[in-house]
Amino acid sequence: MSRPTEPQKKEELLERCLAAAIEIGVLDSSINAIAKRIGTSGRMLIYHFGSKQELERQIISLLETRLRERLWSFQSVSLEGANCLTERLLEMWKHLTSPEMYGLLKLTMELNQRAMQGELEAQRFLEQESQKWIDSLFNLTNDQTAALCLFYLFQGAILDFLTTGNAQRGQETIEAFTATLQ
């Protein structure tokens, strides 16, 4: 008979696994590689999580929480006028392209790839996060079409930033788009 897992130890391991995934920008490592990166054994991870798939599912769930903490604080802000909107969107862009966000963005792009390959957990995660983006952008613009355009603008700009390292193009695109709203 196996002994029950220790919730506090499991939570600590999960936090360390997420930090490691963000640091390298991927989830797709073997259980032993993950364990080595966080200073434990693969057996300990299997003991607490049961399988690599369950560990990944819980990492994705924790990632959702971290994204909410880091990205969605702007949704309660009400803006007046396009200049204020531009400033707020540029502030968001600056935050998104900061060094501490890089691994997190890279990890979400890996989840995009997994979703394209049919992984249901990644599809569910991305659908929820996309809807949060759209809702938040609608709260900023009070215009569904503008919110959708901004969502896709940010998606493309993030991909461009991750592949080229050029944050300036995203900034210029945000400025150009918000100028059309005036």
Residue-by-residue pLDDT tens, the chain, 182 positions: 455 558 888 999 999 999 999 888 888 778 999 999 999 999 999 999 999 989 998 998 888 888 777 765 554 444 444 468 898 899 889 988 999 888 888 888 889 999 999 999 889 989 998 998 899 889 888 999 999 999 999 999 999 999 999 999 999 999 999 998 87
The CA angle 41-46-52, to the nearest 5 degrees, is 105
The answer to the question of residue 1 being in a domain is no
> Any idea what the CATH number is for the domain that residue 163 is in?
1.10.357.10
Q: Which domain covers residue 173, as residue numbers?
A: 7-180
Please count the structural domains in the chain: 1
Q: Where would I find the H helices in the chain?
A: 7-24, 31-38, 42-49, 52-71, 82-96, 99-116, 120-141, 144-164, 167-180
pLDDT at 73: 56
The answer to the question of residue 54 being in a domain is yes
Whole-model pTM: value is 0.78
pLDDT at 81: 47
The answer to the question of residue 150 being in a domain is yes
- Quick count: other Cβ atoms within 10 Å of Cβ 54? 13
pLDDT at 43: 93
Q: At what angle do helices 120-141 and 82-96 cross, to 10 degrees?
A: 150
The answer to the question of residue 2 being in a domain is no
